[in-house]
């Protein structure tokens, strides 16, 4: 089978995003500590531990961030980072309050995404933000989401079936030459990288022949965010997407297309067709507005889902008793999804700017300052979650039900902050949960039907600094996950 364009672009952008050797040499070297332990960066005269902002650019912080977040929460809950010209807010209560205060902590103009994605709701507040969000929000929640369950399940089953019929992507399956009943599968290449993009591509309404091009748009735009060295790839892909969408919009305004269930019956218009007929203030949306909304849905329903699936299976398979219980009771996949995002989210936080001077914990943040609301840290705040470094699908203090925009704080349970809360809660949150849960259920059921035992291929999995332990997830999501599949004797 020929190499998938999606994987070619993804590999190239990941390669380009690695720090250049000359840049790495300009940074302070921090020792790699055992997971959960922080290196000593000095102390004040009263013994308060200090934070060196060069830490945030280090490999140590990337792989072992949580002990440093704990220092910040306990001693510097509002940390003024003069190196990066920003403020870090790290406690759960403060992050939550900031997200809910759309006036004091605004989203204009944070400039982190509009260069690639276009003028999306990420850069808007107030009435204009609500107007844009409502354009497509109804297509990603409730009954509209439920109608797409057969599509998601069908796509998942189709991809997993390729593991066993010889049509899986090149390099994703390795069969044991001495024992054909054993094989290794790279879950990213074989499923998690491409599955959410296939789903989003279909529910948006892109033609099947555009799938390979869609992989290019997606991976290039996602790896081009934040002004990185790959930004030029993202900008080019965004323009190419808009050129393609312009022709598609012209067609769909005249002849909309529909989604169909397994019986071939229509279940409603695809999202592009819906947007093409949407009227706001007496005018149809422009092709640019539609493209920006598409780009945002791609990010929320694609990259988040990819990271959630990989991290979830990595964590569950390292906690075998929990994995066995989830596999035996498919209703527990929702709890596994939420605990994964609390414990190891692929989403780090959402930047804000202060509209006026804000004083928090004795620190005055001047008007117009960049503020990093750190979801990673909030999700590990022991003021909210007991023993936060422990992965526990059954923890009693985490809300694992329906995602609610305002968040949940009842009966001792709190929402994780991986999607944020408030008016800017991630628009792809609901579809990400649906894709991650349904995809994992279908995968587990397919393995059960074949009598296959699954585990982590330790030999192919990166190790931590001791050379023996599996590498921690650290910040973001793991890039790949090799699984061992072993068929039960017949």
Tens digits of pLDDT across the chain (490 residues): 445 554 554 455 445 444 444 444 446 789 999 999 999 999 999 999 999 999 999 999 999 999 999 999 999 999 999 999 999 999 999 999 999 998 899 876 545 555 555 555 555 555 555 555 555 555 555 666 677 788 889 999 999 999 998 899 999 999 988 888 899 999 999 999 889 888 888 888 888 777 778 777 777 777 666 555 677 777 888 788 888 888 888 889 989 988 777 777 887 788 888 888 877 777 888 887 787 777 766 655 567 888 999 999 999 999 999 999 999 999 999 999 999 999 998 878 888 999 999 999 999 999 999 999 999 999 999 999 999 999 999 999 999 998 888 899 999 999 999 999 988 787 778 888 989 999 999 999 999 999 999 999 999 999 999 999 999 999 988 989 999 999 877 6
> Cβ contacts of residue 452 below 8 Å, gap of 6+?
485, 486, 487, 488
Alpha carbon distance 302, 202 (integer Å): 12
> Cβ contacts of residue 421 below 8 Å, gap of 6+?
96, 99, 100, 405, 406, 407, 415
Q: Are 395 and 339 in contact (CB under 8 A)?
A: yes
Q: Are 393 and 344 in contact (CB under 8 A)?
A: no
CA 423 to each of CA 283, 406, 451: distance values in angstroms, whole numbers, following the listed order = 25, 8, 45
Quickly count: other Cβ atoms within 10 Å of residue 362's Cβ.
7
Map out the domains of the chain with their CATH numbers: 5-487 (1.10.630.10)
Alpha carbon distance 300, 293 (integer Å): 11
Alpha carbon distance 288, 469 (integer Å): 48
Orientation of helix 429-449 relative to helix 320-328, angle to 10°: 90
Q: Are 91 and 73 in contact (CB under 8 A)?
A: yes
Q: Are 225 and 238 in contact (CB under 8 A)?
A: no
Query: Hey, which bits of 270-346 come out as E strands?
Result: 279-280, 283-284
Residue with token string 């074989």? 190
Alpha carbon distance 468, 77 (integer Å): 35
Alpha carbon distance 456, 470 (integer Å): 10
Alpha carbon distance 208, 210 (integer Å): 5
Cα angle for residues 458, 470, 72 (degrees, 5° grid): 165
DSSP H/E element including 274:
helix 271-276
Q: Is the Cα dihedral 452, 169, 434, 484 positive or negative? A: positive
Phi first, then psi: what are they for 293, rounded to 5°? -65, -40
> Cβ contacts of residue 123 below 8 Å, gap of 6+?
107, 108, 109, 110, 111, 113, 114
Q: What's the pTM?
A: 0.86
Q: What is the CA radius of gyration of the chain?
A: 23
């Amino acid at each position: 089978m020929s190499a998938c364009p999606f994987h070619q672009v993804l590999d190239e952008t990941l390669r380009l995003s690695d720090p250049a050797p000359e840049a790495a040499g300009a940074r302070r070297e921090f020792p790699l500590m055992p997971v959960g332990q922080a290196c000593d960066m000095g102390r004040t005269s009263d013994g308060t531990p200090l934070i060196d902002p060069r830490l945030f650019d280090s490999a140590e912080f990337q792989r072992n961030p949580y002990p440093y977040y704990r220092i910040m929460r306990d001693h510097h809950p509002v940390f003024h980072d003069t190196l990066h010209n920003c403020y870090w807010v790290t406690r759960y209560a403060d992050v939550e309050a900031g997200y809910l205060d759309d006036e004091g902590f605004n989203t204009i103009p944070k400039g982190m995404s509009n260069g690639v994605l276009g003028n999306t709701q990420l850069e808007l507040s107030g009435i204009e933000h609500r107007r844009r969000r409502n354009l497509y929000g109804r297509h990603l929640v409730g009954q509209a989401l439920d109608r797409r369950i057969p599509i998601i399940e069908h796509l998942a089953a189709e991809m997993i079936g390729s593991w066993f019929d010889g049509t899986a992507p090149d390099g994703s399956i390795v069969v044991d030459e001495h024992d054909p009943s054993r094989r290794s599968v790279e879950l990213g290449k074989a499923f998690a990288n491409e599955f959410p993009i296939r789903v989003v591509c279909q529910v948006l309404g892109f033609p099947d022949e555009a799938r390979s091009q869609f992989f290019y748009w997606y991976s290039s735009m996602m790896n081009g965010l934040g002004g990185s060295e790959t930004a030029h790839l993202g900008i080019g892909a965004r323009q190419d997407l808009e050129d393609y969408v312009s022709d598609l919009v012209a067609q769909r305004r005249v002849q909309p297309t529909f989604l169909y269930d397994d019986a071939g019956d229509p279940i409603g218009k695809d999202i592009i067709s819906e947007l093409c007929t949407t009227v706001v203030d007496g005018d149809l949306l422009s092709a640019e507005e539609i493209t920006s909304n598409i780009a945002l849905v791609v990010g929320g329903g694609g990259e988040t889902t990819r990271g959630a699936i990989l991290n979830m299976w990595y964590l569950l398979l390292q906690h075998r008793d929990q994995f066995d219980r989830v596999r035996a009771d498919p209703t527990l996949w929702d709890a596994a999804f939420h605990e994964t995002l609390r414990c190891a989210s692929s989403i780090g936080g959402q930047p804000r700017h202060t509209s006026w001077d804000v004083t928090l914990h004795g620190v005055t943040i001047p008007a117009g300052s960049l503020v990093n609301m750190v979801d990673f840290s909030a999700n590990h705040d022991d003021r909210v979650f007991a023993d936060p470094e422990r992965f526990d699908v059954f923890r009693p203090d985490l809300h694992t039900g329906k995602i609610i925009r305002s968040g949940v704080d009842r009966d001792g349970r709190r929402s994780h902050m991986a999607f944020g809360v408030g008016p800017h809660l991630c628009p792809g949150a609901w579809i990400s949960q649906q894709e991650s849960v349904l995809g994992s259920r279908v995968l587990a059921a397919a393995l059960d039907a074949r009598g296959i035992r699954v585990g982590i291929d330790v030999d192919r999995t990166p190790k931590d600094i001791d050379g023996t332990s599996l590498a921690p997830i650290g910040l973001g999501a793991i890039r790949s996950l090799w699984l061992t599949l072993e068929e039960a004797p017949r």
